[in-house]
Amino acid sequence: MAHSSQAVCWQLHCEVLMVIRNIRGQMQGTPRYLARHPKPHRTESLFGYYLRLSEANGFGSTWELFQRAGMEQYEWKTRGAKTDKIALIARCRQGDLDEIAHYVKGTPRAFRLLAHLVVATDIDLRTPGFCVECVREKRFVEAHWDLKLMAGCPLHCEWAILSCASCGALLTIFRPGLL
């Protein structure tokens, strides 16, 4: 009797090891958690959050963040950028990122900005502008800077920064940090 219970125990042990090996095999392609994971602000731009997250973790660009999350280009390139993989590595609730995302779940052509419905063409993610003073004060990029009509800051009476002060190239989300 003791021999059969040892055999069952051994069989169970082997099955558990197989499950662990399968999980490890599946996890080889999964992202690793970030060392620093600041929480998103309720009025923050989603791509501004990605910049802030990249900067906090010492990445040279948001591209490194997307690679770390195991994201494909189609998953981050559009206004309907997926947030689940970033939420996983940033250890934040996906709902927190969905609140600042531009897409409306279940409605492929509806977009929003801070819970307000907007037309997709009103959002400009290719040439992100912002007010340097606002970013210095708040330490994040407000979501209203994702709107095409934001040409300047009403608070500081300054034009939006659209290009690099050093080289003159247009800003993209693939830069080392917020400023």
DSSP secondary structure letter of residue 44: B
Sequence ranges of the domains in the chain: 46-159
pLDDT by residue for the chain (179 residues), tens only, comes to 455 666 656 666 555 555 454 444 445 555 589 999 999 999 999 999 999 999 999 999 999 999 999 888 878 776 667 889 999 999 999 999 999 998 877 777 778 899 899 988 898 888 889 999 999 999 999 999 999 999 999 999 999 999 988 899 999 888 888 98
Nearest to 41 by CA among 100, 109, 98, 83: 100
The Cβ-side half-sphere exposure at 48, using a 13 Å CA radius, reads 27
Q: What is the pLDDT of residue 88?
A: 94
d(C-alpha 49, C-alpha 147), whole Å: 16
3-state secondary structure 56-105: HCCCCCHHHHHHHCCCCHHHHCCCCCCCHHHHHHHCCCHHHHHHHCCEEC
Q: What is the pLDDT of residue 163?
A: 93
